[in-house]
């Protein structure tokens, strides 16, 4: 996995404490949704982020961030 994309996602989630969807992250970082999903899955597996389902959407948060 590209470390720059990983760092970009972590940095973005650190700034956006209310959580972001895959679409919001991919648009912000100008990467494909598929690439974004892979990066997020790896970060979740490494316990660096957490995911909360809201209806059909999944919000992604940096671990240690704002909880709802």
pLDDT value for 2 = 85
68 is a domain residue: no
Q: What is the pLDDT of residue 68?
A: 42
| C-alpha span between 37 and 48 (Å, rounded) | 14
Report the Cα–Cα distance between both ends of the chain, in Å, rounded. 30
Domain of residue 54: give its range. Answer: 3-62
- Confirm whether 67 is domain-assigned: no
Does the residue 53 lie in any domain? yes
In a domain, 44, yes or no: yes
pLDDT at 1 (0 to 100): 59
Indicate whether 47 belongs to any domain: yes
CATH code where residue 38 lies: 1.10.10.10
pLDDT by 10s per residue, the chain, length 68: 589 999 999 999 999 989 999 999 999 999 999 999 999 999 999 999 999 999 999 999 999 744 44
* Tally of domains in the chain: 1
């Amino acid at each position: 996995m590209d470390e720059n994309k990983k760092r970009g996602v972590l940095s973005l989630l650190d700034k956006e404490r209310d959580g972001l969807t895959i679409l919001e992250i991919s648009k912000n970082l100008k990467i494909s949704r598929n690439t974004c999903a892979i990066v997020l899955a790896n970060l979740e597996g490494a316990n660096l982020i957490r995911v909360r389902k809201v209806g059909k959407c999944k919000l992604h948060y940096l671990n240690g961030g704002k909880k709802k």
